[in-house]
Structure 1
Amino acid sequence: MARTHEGEDASFRRSQQRSDSLERGIRTSPASHLVLSGDRPTGDLHLGHLLGTLANRIRLQRLGVPLMLVIADYQVITDRDAVGPLRQRVRSLVADYLAAGVDPEHTAIFAHSAVPALNQLMLPFLSLVTDAELHRNPTVKAESSAADRPPSALLLTYPVHQAADILFCGATVVPVGRDQLPHLELTRVIVRRFNERYGAVFELPEALLSPVPVLLGTDGQKMSKSRGNAIALGADEDTTARLLRGAKTDSLRHITYEPRSRPEVASLLQIIASLGGRSPVEIATEIGGRGAGALKAMAAEVVNESLRPLRSRRRELLADPGYLDGVLIDGVAQANAIANETLQRVRVAMAMDYLG
Structure 2
Amino acid sequence: MTTVIETSTAARRSAELEEQIALRPNDFRVLTGDRPTGLLHLGHYFGTLHNRVRLQRQGVEMMVIIADYQVLTDRDLAEHLGEHVDDLVLDYLAAGIDPQTATIFTHSAVAALNQLLLPFLSLVSVSELSRNPTVKDEINHSRQAAVSGLMFTYPAHQAADILFCKANLVPVGQDQLPHLELTRTIARRFNDRYGRLLPEPDALLSPAPLLLGTDGTKMSKSRGNAITLSATADETARLIRGAKTDAQRHITYDPQSRPEVSSLVLLAALCLGRDPHDVAADIGPGGAAALKRTVTEAVNEHLAPMRERRTAFAQDRGYLRRILREGNERANAIAEATLAEVRSAMGTRY
TM-score strictly above 0.5: yes
Runs of 4+, deviation exceeding 3 Å: none
Shift of 1:182: 1.0
Residue 117 (1) aligns with residue 109 (2): no
The equivalent of 2:252 in structure 1 is 256
How many matched pairs? 349
How large is the RMSD of aligned CA atoms in angstroms? 1.1
The equivalent of 2:308 in structure 1 is 312
Q: For 1:319 and 1:136, how far apart are their aligned partners in 2?
A: 46
Q: For 1:293 and 1:131, how far apart are their aligned partners in 2?
A: 52
Q: Deviations over 1:210-253 (max 9, x none)?
A: 11222111111111111111001111111111111111122221
1:175 aligned residue (160, 171, 185): 171
The equivalent of 2:335 in structure 1 is 339
The equivalent of 1:25 in structure 2 is 20
Percent of aligned pairs sharing the same letter: 59
Q: Secondary structure at the match of 2:240?
A: helix
Normalised by the size of structure 1, how large is the TM-score?
Answer: 0.96
The equivalent of 2:197 in structure 1 is 201
Q: For 2:289 and 2:185, how far apart are their aligned partners in 1?
A: 48
Q: For 2:175 and 2:295, how far apart are their aligned partners in 1?
A: 26
Q: For 1:295 and 1:204, how far apart are their aligned partners in 2?
A: 45
Q: Deviations over 1:15-74 (max 9, x none)?
A: 100111111111110011011100000001111111110000000010011101000000
Q: Is this contact kept in 1: 2:46–2:209, CA < 8 A?
A: no
2:40 aligned residue (45, 50, 74): 45
Q: For 2:271 and 2:229, how far apart are their aligned partners in 1?
A: 13
Q: Deviations over 1:131-156 (max 9, x none)?
A: 11111122211122233622110011
Normalised by the size of structure 2, how large is the TM-score?
Answer: 0.98
Q: For 2:126 and 2:230, how far apart are their aligned partners in 1?
A: 40
Residue 223 (1) aligns with residue 252 (2): no
Shift of 1:81: 2.0
The equivalent of 1:3 in structure 2 is none
Q: Mapping of 1:124-135 within 5 angstroms? A: 124-135=119-130
1:235 aligned residue (213, 231, 245): 231
Q: Secondary structure at the match of 1:175?
A: strand
Shift of 1:92: 1.0
Runs of 5+ consecutive residues of structure 1 not aligned to the other structure = 1-5
Residue 75 (1) aligns with residue 70 (2): yes
Q: Secondary structure at the match of 1:235?
A: coil
